[in-house]
A and B are shown apart, each in its own frame.
Chain A
Amino acid sequence: MDLVRIDAVHKHFGSNHVLKGIDLRIGAGEVVAIIGRSGSGKSTLLRSINGLESIDDGQIEVDGEKLTAGQTDLRALRQKVGMVFQQFNLFPHLKVGENVMLAPQVVKKMSRADCEPIAKAMLAKVGLAEKFDAYPDQLSGGQQQRVAIARALAMQPKVMLCDEITSALDPELVNEVLAVVKQLAVEGMTLIMVTHEMRFARDVGNKLVFMYQGKVHESGDPKELFANPQTPELQSFIGAIN
Chain B
Amino acid sequence: MAYHFDFIAVWEYREQLATGALHTLGLIAVGATLGVSLGTLGAVSRAWKIKPFDKIFTVYVEAIRNTPFLVQLFFIFFGLPALGVKLDEWTAAIIAMVVNLGAYSTEIIRAGIQAIPRGQIEAASSLAMTRAQIFRHIVLRPALQKVWPALTSQVVIVMLGSSVCSQISATELTYAANFIQSRNFRAFETYITVALMYLVLAFCVRWLLNKFGSHFVNGRKTT
Contacts and interface: CB of A to CB of B under 8 A. Distances in A.
A183 interface: no
Interface string A43-76: 0000000111000000000000000000000110
Contacts, number: 64
A85 interface: yes
A148 B124 CA distance: 11
Contact of A107 (B133, B141, B218, B220): B133
B141 A93 contact: yes
B26 interface: no
What secondary structure prevails in chain B residues at the interface with A? helix
B129 A83 contact: no
B145 interface: yes
B142 A50 contact: no
Given A91-B138, A93-B141, A93-B145, A52 B122 contact: yes
B86 interface: no
Interface string B111-135: 0000001011011111111100100
B138 to A, nearest CB: 6
A89 B125 CA distance: 12
Contact of A89 (B120, B133, B219): B120
A134 B58 CA distance: 40
Contacts of B141: 93
A81 interface: yes
Interface of A: 50-52, 74-75, 78-79, 81-83, 85, 87, 89-93, 102-103, 106-107, 135, 148, 151-152, 155, 161
5 contacts: A74-B125, A78-B127, A89-B122, A90-B123, A91-B123
Interface of B: 117, 119-120, 122-130, 133, 137-138, 141-142, 145, 218-220
